[in-house]
Amino acid sequence: MEPSEQRAGDRFAGRGLGIDLGAVRIGVALCDSNGTLATPYQTVSRSGNPNLDHQRLRALVEECDAAFVVIGVPYSLASGEIGPAAHSTLDEIEQIRRSFGEHVDVHLQDERLTSVTAEQRLTEMGIKGKRRKQLVDQIAAAVILQTWIDGETSGGSGHAHALGKG
C-alpha cells in the first residue's frame, strides 16, 4: 500500500455526509468510506420546523452510518469574512451538531460559489426544469464535501474548521 493511501484510509474512518443548508431545501451528499469521492445523495425539503429538519438530517446520518459531516458556511464573497448569512448558518449548525450527539464529528467548509458550480454542472449535463431544482442542492453539497475531502488529503484548505462532536 502506498503511504498516501494509508493516510487517506486512516483519516477517513467511515462515510461522510456533506450538507448544503438552504432556506427552502437542504442538499445532502455522501462519500465512500475511504473519503475519496463525494456524490449527490438526497434533497430534504424544509418543513418550516428547524427541529424536524435536524431530526431528518440525523436520521440520514444514521441511515448512511456517517462518521463525520461537513456543512457549508456562506462566507462573504467579497471579503471571506463571516457576514449575517454566515452567522445565521453557524447558529443552525450548532443546533444540528447538538442534535447529532457525540458519535458524529462536524466540520465546516467555505461554500462560496458552490451553487454556481452546481448550476454549471447541471447546464453541462443538459438538465433543466424540476429535475434541476431537485439536483442543484445535492450537487452543491457534493462540491462542499469534495472540497473538504480534497483539502484534508492535501494537508488542509482555507475556511475549513472542525466543531467536534455534540
Domain ranges of the chain: 3-164
Q: What is the pLDDT of residue 83?
A: 78
> What's the average model confidence in pLDDT over 28-52?
95
Tens digits of residue pLDDT in 59-105: 999 999 999 999 999 887 777 778 788 889 999 999 999 999 888 99
CATH 3.30.420.480 given to domain 3-164: no
Q: What is the pLDDT of residue 86?
A: 85
Cell digits of residue 156: 488542509
CB 61 within 8 A of CB 50: no
* Mean pLDDT estimate for the chain: 84
CB 128 within 8 A of CB 18: no
Of 16-25, 115-124, 153-162, highest mean pLDDT: 16-25
Cell digits of residue 16: 461522510
Q: What is the pLDDT of residue 29?
A: 98
User: Is residue 162 pLDDT above 70, yes or no?
Assistant: no
